[in-house]
Structure 1
């Protein structure tokens, strides 16, 4: 496996690094608390779906949202003739050859978090055009969509929701779950596909922490869980069509 050619410092468990990891991982218990509070324990599947989509929404909005912020508002002003390590030439982000944009040039906790992740994938240090475009869709469409799915899950799981309304909520729920799951899988491939086909030049895979924690763990969830969501949605669709077909046959027999 090829790795980044730039010199990347080995993983160091210093305080800023540990705080960055804690901030990223803290979203999981938050999503778990929300799921156990809003979805009845008797509906384990819906609770798991809520947990995933709440975690998905928090990650997109609160973590990846800060990446976009730094891409548009954090920059280094370049002097005439000066070059920046993350600016490789035209086309330039925002058509500004005099600026180097990205979290690498930001300050504060969120910039430090992305500077840490950027040790494993250098594209997240600057304003990579492909990554920025994917993240715009992820933050402004994927994040709110995941929030709405959580809302639909609470309605579809509530014992106080009338049966007719539950059917309405469930129809929206599974359509949007499928849409978001497919978008997550597509986005993941378009994120890492260019690297796989170009020798992983931006990825650092020699350090086991960068490889297994940063690159694998923090990304593999968005492969296996969307596949599980699609599997569950396929079962729901198959059941719905089977029930509808059986109801149609009974109606036909009554008419005859």
Structure 2
């Protein structure tokens, strides 16, 4: 584990945490507005994917922006390559930014210092998350909203749901894989970048904000498995009835 200062609850820290958590009520409001009250599971699915999309596009999107556009110039090469963007004269990352989103990631980097700079593995995963995961979550929300439209024909609704669960399975699997690839290098090297000694950094920053992307994708896969089983059982039953 890496040594770090203890958690301090100052005004900038409160603001950073509030911004991160503010996406949850936003997603909840959208789910209530776009999904009928009698479709509880669809509301929960919509809420999760709306929160997922907002986080990927805005929070993690700001990280990607900081990695490419915030930097400091160095006069001597601090280490041997490879260098981010193949530029040995610059150090990139949120640590060198001055705006609100840079401050947000500087705060999270107190728990995982890889997010302060331009860690190549983290950036590679975040590019996929921002440009594929975020839009996929938006698309799932659209499909959930469309499938709740009572005017759709049975055939159209079935087509929408088939696409919905296909994309949901792909995204949930990607979320789990991305989380593993983010933290497995740390687990295998003694968590040298993680501030596991401070309980707030460990349980709020690292555990809570990251295991959401473990438990909820697993639940999505569980629901998808039930949908697939139901669809195949219904199809086989229909074939059996026709053959009789």
The TM-score range, normalised by the shorter chain, is over 0.9
Matched, 1:150 2:141: yes
* Matched residue, 2:120: 129
RMSD over aligned CA atoms reads 0.9
Cα distance in 2 between the residues matched to 1:47 and 1:158 = 14
Cα distance in 1 between the residues matched to 2:76 and 2:9 = 38
Cα distance in 2 between the residues matched to 1:220 and 1:230 = 15
Q: Which runs of 5+ in 1 are unaligned?
A: none
TM-score between the two structures when normalised by the length of structure 1:
0.94
Runs of 4+ that moved beyond 2 A: none
Q: Is the 8 A contact 1:103 1:126 kept in 2?
A: yes
Cα distance in 2 between the residues matched to 1:16 and 1:61 = 22
Find 2:150's aligned residue among 147, 159, 180: 159
Find 2:187's aligned residue among 196, 200, 205: 196
What is the number of equivalent residue pairs in this alignment? 244
Matched, 1:26 2:17: no
Find 1:98's aligned residue among 66, 73, 89: 89
Q: Deviations over 1:147-167 (max 9, x none)?
A: 000000001122222211100
Q: Deviations over 1:73-130 (max 9, x none)?
A: 000001135x3xxxx5311111111100000000111000000000000000000000
Find 1:241's aligned residue among 228, 232, 239: 232
TM-score between the two structures when normalised by the length of structure 2:
0.98
Q: Which runs of 5+ in 2 are unaligned?
A: none
CA-CA distance at 1:213 after TM superposition: 0.3
Cα distance in 1 between the residues matched to 2:156 and 2:221 = 23
